[in-house]
């Protein structure tokens, strides 16, 4: 049996800010009827797994307001309207770690909030790092930390890293990172 396709009848933006829109769609499903769907629309996000010339993987620690605690994460940020995903990844890397990458490799992509948002997060691996900081947003503060491949796996398994985007990105990229580091 084929799955029933939803047909968008209308779309209304209820609220928007510089990062996302809260949308309300009206849809129909053949044989079922008409309904409403509330969701967050974004231009996507980029997550970067930076690797130093010493084969260390960079993560950033930052305070997460909604969870009221600090978290250890890979560099990540919302895609800005005037930037491609690769340009956005480079910008986020420079803002959060102070490094730029001579080689950004797209490892994959995933949906971090299926059912609540249409966001797609694109995952990059960054190598050939050089110091090239950009100013941070005044609300952001990061502590840059370096880990070996084994240490990243350990903090993932021990739930030290609890950020869902970082966990998903590592699942996508860890095999490639492992080969890159000859593990």
- Note down the domain range covering 65: 45-180
**Residues 103, 37 within the same domain:** no
Q: Listing from the earlier edge strand, what are the strands of the sheet with 33-41?
A: 6-16, 21-29, 33-41
Distance CA 101, CA 161 (A): 24
pLDDT at 169 over 80: yes
CB contact burial 73-100 (16+ within 10 A = b; e otherwise): bbbbbbbeeeeebeebbbbbbbbbbbbb
**Residues 24, 99 within the same domain:** no
Domain count, the chain: 2
Residue at 12 is within a domain: yes
**Residues 28, 87 within the same domain:** no
**Residues 83, 165 within the same domain:** yes
Rounded to a whole number of angstroms, the CA Rg of the chain reads 19
Q: What is the pLDDT of residues 68-115, one digit of tens each?
A: 999 999 999 999 999 999 999 999 999 999 999 999 999 999 999 999
Residue at 1 is within a domain: no
Do 144 and 98 touch, CB atoms closer than 8 A? yes
**Residues 21, 78 within the same domain:** no
Q: How many CB atoms lie within 10 A of CB 139?
A: 7
**Residues 175, 111 within the same domain:** yes
């Amino acid at each position: 049996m084929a799955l029933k396709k939803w047909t968008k009848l209308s779309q209304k933006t209820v609220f928007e800010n510089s990062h996302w829109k809260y949308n309300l769609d009206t849809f129909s499903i053949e044989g079922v009827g008409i309904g409403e769907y509330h969701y967050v629309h974004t231009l996507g996000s980029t997550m970067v797994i930076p690797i130093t010339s010493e084969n260390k993987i960079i993560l950033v620690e930052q305070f997460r307001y909604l969870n009221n605690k600090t978290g250890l994460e890979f560099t990540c940020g919302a895609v800005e309207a005037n930037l491609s995903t690769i340009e956005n990844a480079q910008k986020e890397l420079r803002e959060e770690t102070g490094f730029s990458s001579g080689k950004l490799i797209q490892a994959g992509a995933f949906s971090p909030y299926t059912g609540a948002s249409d966001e797609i997060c694109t995952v990059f691996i960054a190598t050939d790092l050089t110091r090239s900081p950009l100013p941070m947003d005044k609300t952001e503060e990061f502590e840059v930390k370096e880990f070996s491949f084994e240490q990243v796996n350990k903090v993932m398994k021990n739930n030290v890293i609890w950020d869902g985007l970082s966990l998903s990105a590592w699942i996508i990229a860890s095999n490639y990172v492992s080969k890159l580091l000859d593990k």
